Structure 1
Amino acid sequence: MKWAVVIFTLLVASAIAEEARRNLNLATECDEARCQLPRCRCSGTDIPGGLNPRDTPQLVLLTFDDGVNTLNIEKYRSLYGRRNRDGCPIGITYFVNHEYTNYKLVNELYNNGFEIALHSITHQTPQSYWAGATYETMMREFGHQRWQMSYFANIPINTIRGMRIPYLQMSGNSSFQVMNTAGLTYDSSWPTSQFVNPGLWPYTLDYASTQDCMMPPCPTASIPGPWVLPMVTWTDMRGFPCSYVDACIFRPDDNDEEGWFRFMMNNFERQYRGNRAPFGFYVHEWLISTNPAISRAFTRFLDLLNSLHDVFMVNGSEAIEWMRNPMTVEEFARKPCRQRIVAPCIPRTCGPLSAEHTTISYWMEVCTECPNVYPWIDNPFGR
């Protein structure tokens, strides 16, 4: 019965999407009188709610990309138990792709209070695959992955709200159309090197974006609903932008703990002493776990953030919630800590599983019944 409900839902979503695509209009210059929170926000660097910088909570977004498995779970576990100065657990967002992901461990991350978001089923190359991805392709990669992630990790589907396209390669209007159809809230794939100081705040696509397009094609249509969570780039030691911390070319030596700590602080302070747009620490786990000096600097940096009364490490969904209802530092610190319903997991080891896209056989750890074949695009449940 559960499979029948899932398949029916996917068919209904496709029908709704086809209707939505026929009604796309070119986005026009933002009308601030009409574009009002909580549903609409023009792209810009002004602080929401008219707050002064000193009264604005500095939101920090720590995110990790790619599969969750036994190779990286120990580093992720080292972050359990951290709390912001208000006493609430920190927020972290994991943008998870399907291949080589251990869904039992995804369930564990969810139950420890972290956000699970989407990073596609295939994460495939070449990059041009994503640049030219149609609505249908993005639905198969992300819309279907939302159901896949919820099913195999046994986590509530309504908690899966964010997405990030592999290689940060924009796909024009198609990914944002999919977000509307698939029930996703925000995208965090779009870097900006132009709106860094002051930083660009999250916004909606009701009207034309003013954000620079570093990885075209970028959206051009009016698509009310989805939020853009801009990736405000870091600046490396020679002034070049880098979207991911591990993508910074001119950076401290990997053995220089103090240099790395200062590098992190310099990029953080630009936002903290500026307009306090959300500060992103976007990274792949390997950089931290394979370099002890960077790991120590990272721990020192998080300790400092967690000691500041006006800094809050939050997940992507919480950042969007704040955008919809801006609060002062004091108000934000007084709000209740987020609550989450525990998602049970009865772990099963599945395999070896044959795959349609390769001759490799896979093993999977899941929280539900085992698939018949390795799940993949066009067969996300492996039936």
Structure 2
Amino acid sequence: MLRISLLLSVLIGLSQQACDPAQCVLPDCRCYDDPNQPGGLETTQIPQIIMVSFEGTISSANLELYRGIFADVTNPNGCPGRGTFFIEDEGTNYGSVRNLAMEGHEIGIQSVNGISPNDSSGWIEAIRDVRAELDDLVDINKVLGVRAPSIAMGGNDELIGIGLNNMLYDSSCSNVDYSDSGTFLWPYTFDNMPTVPCTNGDAPVDPFKGKWEVMIADLHDKNGDPCVVPSGCREVTTKRDAFELLFGAFDEHYSGKRTPFNLIIDPAWAANENFNAGTVEFLQYVRASFGNEVWVVPIQRALQWVQDPTPIADLDSFAPWQCNGDTTLRFKP
């Protein structure tokens, strides 16, 4: 208990104060309300990043569905588009997880059994246990992200679990007030409080220095109502509906500040033939239609760009986005 208390004193800031963009600077810190584009780049210099992410169990059945989504999706530098998989332990085929990692996808952690822990000890243990399962299969130093079950952020308790397991970021928070082209947020750190509250779950109330949030921006269905994941959007029944839903969300990002588009695909959406086909068409269309402006990369690689903002014209030589590039984030555990 004493050891945990001492570590928490390091992880959690000593005071709560508004974030100052002049003091909270890249690559290790960014204020959630910083009005500036990363690196001071003009919007036309910023790549539109699409982060396709998944959570839950990985089985032989959904593995092929997920792989199919990336079929023929190639980035401007010729490297294949790749995504992020947040693993639930129960029911997962870890041989399939190993294969995904070998193919260049990012592996993160969701839970042991799809249920959020009740306290910080539970979060520490859950993240530790899934990391232990992954340890002999993937480069554990590159397993740095967490998505909470039901996409409901676990507040201070989750951030304590992230910190004490040497993880770097969460991607579970959404907020309906930050869900259009004028309000989307860039990934930010929890160095200072207050921060963005989450519509579902809880944001931390204490500072956690150097820990990042990659927010999930709501999509909007045909009635304009928010939906965090595509499968939660109403009146989507056809391939064309699925395409239009995703392209509409993409265009909100692209026509705004070009903040990364966090696209979550769940097993039900992937297993629906029309929705799956609409997703494949969407990814292939935006890649073919927007030239070197659109990149499909895992969340870690998106964070690498935020930490080291690089203009579109220089991305062919941006090391983290090469086919076998360095995926090591700037990270202070």
Q: Distance in 2 between matches of 1:39 and 1:276?
A: 21
What stretches of structure 2 of length at least 5 have no aligned partner?
327-333
Residue aligning to 2:83: 92
Query: Which of 121, 125, 142 does residue 136 from structure 1 map onto?
Result: 121
Q: Map 1:17-96 onto structure 2 (within 5 A).
A: 17-22=4-9, 24=12, 25-44=14-33, 46-78=36-68, 79=70, 82-96=73-87
Q: Does structure 2 conserve the Cα–Cα contact (< 8 Å) formed by 1:169 and 1:215?
A: yes
Aligned residues: 316
Q: Percent identity?
A: 25
Kindly state the Cα deviation for residue 237 of structure 1 after the two structures are TM-superposed.
Answer: 1.4
SS at structure 1 position matched to 2:60:
coil
Question: What corresponds to 2:330 in structure 1?
Answer: none
Check the 8 A contact 1:119/1:164 in 2, yes or no.
yes
Alignment-mate amino acid for residue 205 of structure 2: T
Q: Deviations over 1:255-305 (max 9, x none)?
A: x22232122111110100111011111120321322x22222111111113
In 1, Cα distance between the equivalents of 2:71 and 2:128? 29
Structure (1/2) with the larger helix percentage: 2
Query: Does structure 2 retain, via aligned residues, the 8 Å contact 1:16–1:181?
Result: no
Question: SS state of the match for residue 180, structure 1?
Answer: helix
Q: 1:20 offset after TM fit, Å? A: 2.5
Task: Note if contact 1:113-1:340 (Cα within 8 Å) is conserved in structure 2.
Answer: no
Per-residue CA distance 1:144-165 (angstroms, 9 max, x = gap): 32122223xx111112111101
Change (3 A) 1:232 1:147: same
TM-superposition CA deviations, 1:315-357 (whole Å, max 9, x none): 111111111111111122332414279xxxxxxxxxxxxxxxx
- Are the structure 2 counterparts of residues 104 and 15 from structure 1 closer, same or farther at C-alpha, using a change threshold of 3 Å? farther
Aligned to 1:262: 244
Give 1:75's aligned amino acid: L
8 Å Cα contact 1:122/1:141 also seen in 2: no
Q: Tell me the alpha carbon deviations over residues 11-55 of structure 1, each in whole angstroms, 9 at most, x when there is no partner.
A: xxx875431224643531101221111111000353211111111
How far apart are the structure 2 equivalents of 1:331 and 1:208? 35
TM-score, normalised via structure 1 length: 0.78
Whether 2:230 is the aligned partner of 1:245: answer yes
In structure 1, the residue matched to 2:166 is 183
Give the Cα separation in 1 of the matches to 2:162 and 2:97. 22
Query: 2:329 — aligned with what?
Result: none
Please give the per-residue CA displacement for 1:38-75, whole angstroms capped at 9, x wherever unaligned: 11100035321111111111111101111001220111
SS in 2 for 1:82: coil
The corresponding residue for 2:275 is 294
Separation in 2 of the partners of 1:171 and 1:216? 6
Q: Which moved more, 1:72-81 or 1:115-124?
A: 72-81
Match of 2:265 among 263, 283, 288: 283
- C-alpha change, 1:53 and 1:118, in structure 2 (3 Å) is same
Gaps of 5+ in 1: 1-13, 342-383
- Structure 1's 15 and 300: CA in aligned 2 closer, same or farther, altered over 3 A? farther
Q: Choose which of 246, 267, 287 in structure 2 pairs with 1:306.
A: 287
Once superposed, what is the RMSD of the aligned Cα atoms?
A: 2.0
Once residues 42 and 128 of structure 2 are traced to their aligned partners in structure 1, the CA distance between those partners, rounded to angstroms, is 39
TM-score, length of structure 2 as denominator length: 0.89
Could you tell me whether the CA contact under 8 Å between 2:195 and 2:203 is conserved in 1? no
> Per the alignment, in what secondary structure is the counterpart of residue 191 of structure 1?
coil
**C-alpha deviations, 1:186-217, integer Å up to 9, x for none?**
11011122112231110001112442321243
Aligned to 1:368: none
Structure-2 residue corresponding to 1:225: 210
Question: Shift of the alpha carbon at 1:184?
Answer: 0.9
Q: Does 1:328 align with 2:311?
A: yes
* Distance in structure 1 (CA, Å) of the matches to 2:172 and 2:15: 21
| Aligned-partner SS, 1:96 | strand
Contact 2:28 2:210 in 1 (8 A): yes
Alpha-carbon shift at residue 77 of structure 1 (Å): 2.9
Distance 2:281 2:232 in 1: 21
* Worse overlay, 214-223 or 114-123: 214-223
SS at match of 2:61: coil
Work out which of the residue numbers 95, 110, 122 in structure 2 matches 1:119: 110
Separation (CA, whole Å) in 1 of partners of 2:256 and 2:3: 42
> Structure 1: how far apart are the matches of 2:259 and 2:194?
17
Deviation at 1:178, TM superposition (A): 2.0
Q: Do the aligned partners of residues 208 and 251 (structure 1) sit closer, same or farther apart at CA in structure 2, a change above 3 Å counting?
A: farther
8 Å contact from structure 1 (residues 193, 233) kept in 2: yes
Q: Which residue of the partner structure matches residue 155 of structure 2?
A: 172
Are 2:141 and 1:158 equivalent residues in the alignment? yes
The answer to whether the 8 A contact 1:47-1:275 is kept is yes
